[in-house]
Amino acid sequence: MLRRAWKPIIGTTALVGGPTYLYYRYYSQPRSETFDLNVRVRGADGKPALQKQTYPMVPSDQVNKRLTEHATSKTTVRPGIVWKQATAQLSSNNPIEDTYSSVFVQRDPTDPAAPGDLLLFAVMDGHRSYHTSQLLSKILLPAVGLQLQELTKAPGSPKKSSTLESLKTMIYPTSPGLSAPADSDPQKVAHAIQSTFVNLDWEITNAPLRVLTENIDKLAIASQQIPDLSQHPMALATMQPALSGSCAIMALFDTAHQNLYVACTGDSRAVAGVYEETDDGKGSWRVEVLSEDQTGRNPSELKRMQSEHPADEANTVIMRGRVLGGLEPTRAFGDARYKWSRDIQQALHKAFMEGNSQALRAVPSALKTPPYVTARPEVTHHKLALPPYANPASKPKSTLRFLVLATDGLWDELSSEEVVGLVGGHLAGLRGSVPKAQLPAMVRTTAGAPTVNGKSFEPGRSTEGAWAFVDDNVCTHLIRNALGGADENRLRRLLSIPAPLSRSYRDDITVTVVWWEDGPGATPEQIRAKL
């Protein structure tokens, strides 16, 4: 339906967009193969100074290779619906600190009673190294699944083993005579997700303390002697995920109950495109922001932080928009230096770090009543209207059709409205170059829930230049347009800046887009016939 609606646009783009894109690519920008940057260095006197340095420009083919080498896509056909997902990453840090994960749990496809699936997607934005985000990519979604499994158990049912395979058993009991399962209650599901996030973070930040207490004897406690555990096999393995940190945003699609949950810890963001049919047949996309950026610049987060600490800390819990003047997100996994007391930090430093010739960062000077950072997410719930529909007439005129999950590296460069327009145009089959000023008329968008931007400024939204619709992967498409679009010279320059200097110009970016289309078997009767 969407592609049919955009056929006139596609034709126009083929005639106008192609030449425009070639113009931008080959004529509108200088073709210099080097560029200069002012880099901060230490002068002969030891003082910082700016020094001009020249860097080679990466060739266009290498730019395209970098944009696509970590891009994936997947299609899953289910009764009455086709699920599509895509993910792409582009690093700035070396190694990248972002990660992502997904789990698709299918109910027995031969059961026509009430086919229902559980789909979980998450992106993690690490900071101060990748240890926390990498750990979360392996354990977060299985942990959420196991907690949800508890909601579906009948009284007295034995607990399942805590492995990823046990996710297969968690989908909705079908025994006759049972009341509505707890996993159909949005409040209970939201609470289960929040509990999982909090408990998982507790395990991460307390793991070094458990190792310490298991390896210290009564005599050492009495004499306040801290043992050297630096060579313990779990020394750095527990300290590194606790000390580094990670934001996380997760989406849970429950197709049996037609529910969508978004859980946000930190300043990654979830934005949905809601397709609305219009009388002229062209349709429009409503921009629905499903999360709030959780930083000290978000007024609600500032108020929450101040309410959780003594009044004499009202001006120090958030300074310059950051937690104790240092950390930007107010919610995160790990980041134990904002959660441990001074005494604990000193003890763990002596036990695990000194023998490894590593030092903990200095305790924040304003730290008095930790913890200051929590992993407890805000969970939002939205009803879905997914196929198969009882009959064609029951298909809603307004329906959420895609969801974008991305780390803040994307949102630093693109607004929520721009992302919905770019995804909507991509799904409609636009190709070539589209002037920025023209895209809103070609892919109409309307405002829904507003964006709560947690950054210190909203990037300027110039209507000059053009978007590039040249990528098959929708996530690669978003990353390309975040960093230059049809301005290939700017794109090449940004990707030519080496790490770690590149971090001053762009962040790691990870994007996952989930969307769906009507699939084989449009009605329940047709599905049963096929089964």
Predicted confidence (pLDDT) per residue in 69-100, tens digit: 999 999 998 888 999 999 999 999 999 999 99
The pLDDT value given to residue 521? 52
What is the average pLDDT score of the chain? Answer: 86
Q: Residue 172: what pLDDT?
A: 38
What is the DSSP track for 449-495? SPP---SSSPPP----SEEEE--SSHHHHHHHHHTTTT-HHHHHHHH
Residue 160 in any domain: the answer is no
Q: Report which of residues 477 and 520 the model is more confident about.
A: 477
Residue 161 within a domain: no
Q: Which of 14-23, 175-184, 245-254 has the lowest mean pLDDT?
A: 14-23
Interval 340-351 mean pLDDT:
95
Query: Residue 179 — very low, low, confident or very high, per pLDDT cuts 50/70/90?
Result: low
pLDDT of residue 524: 47
Rounded average pLDDT over 201-206? 98
User: What average pLDDT score do residues 170-178 get?
Assistant: 41
Residue 54 has phi, psi (to 5 degrees) of -105, 135
Interior angle at CA 471, CA 469 and CA 472, nearest 5: 120
Residue-wise pLDDT tens digits, 312-334:
999 999 999 999 999 999 999 99
pLDDT band at residue 201 using 50, 70 and 90 as cut-offs: very high
What are 385-407's pLDDT values in tens digits? Answer: 998 877 777 778 899 999 999 99
What's the pLDDT score for residue 160?
44
User: Which range, of 92-101, 164-173, 402-411, averages the lowest pLDDT?
Assistant: 164-173
Residue 176 lies in a domain: no
Residue 49: predicted pLDDT = 85
**In the predicted structure, residue 12 carries a pLDDT above the cut 60:** no
Give a yes or no: residue 112 inside a domain.
yes
For residue 169, the model assigns a pLDDT of: 45
- Inform me whether the pLDDT recorded for 163 exceeds 50: no
Q: Tell me, what's the pLDDT at 47?
A: 83
The residue range of the domain holding 52 is: 2-154+166-171+181-530
Residue type, 32: S
Count of domains for the chain: 1
In this prediction, residue 155 carries a pLDDT of 45
Predicted local confidence at residue 449, as pLDDT: 86
C-alpha–C-alpha distance, residues 143 and 394, integer Å: 36
pLDDT exceeds cutoff 50 at 14: no
Residues in CB range of 292: below 8 A, 6 or more apart: 264, 298, 300, 301, 378, 452, 454
pLDDT for the residue numbered 395:
79
The answer to whether position 159 is within a domain reads no
174 — pLDDT class (breaks 50, 70, 90): very low
* Omega before 59 within 30 of 0, i.e. cis: no
**Each residue of 437-463: pLDDT tens digit?**
999 999 999 999 889 988 765 555 667
Contacts of 518 (CB under 8 A, 6+ apart): 80, 81, 82, 387, 388
pLDDT exceeds cutoff 70 at 354: yes
Residue 85 CA to residue 404 CA, distance in Å, equals 10
pLDDT for residue 166 is more than 70: no
Pick the residue with more confidence: 421 or 15? 421
- Give this prediction's pTM: 0.87
Token pair of 2 as six digits: 């969407």
In a domain, 417, yes or no: yes
Whole-angstrom distance, CA of residue 247 vs CA of residue 243: 13
Residue 508 sits in a domain of what CATH number? 3.60.40.10
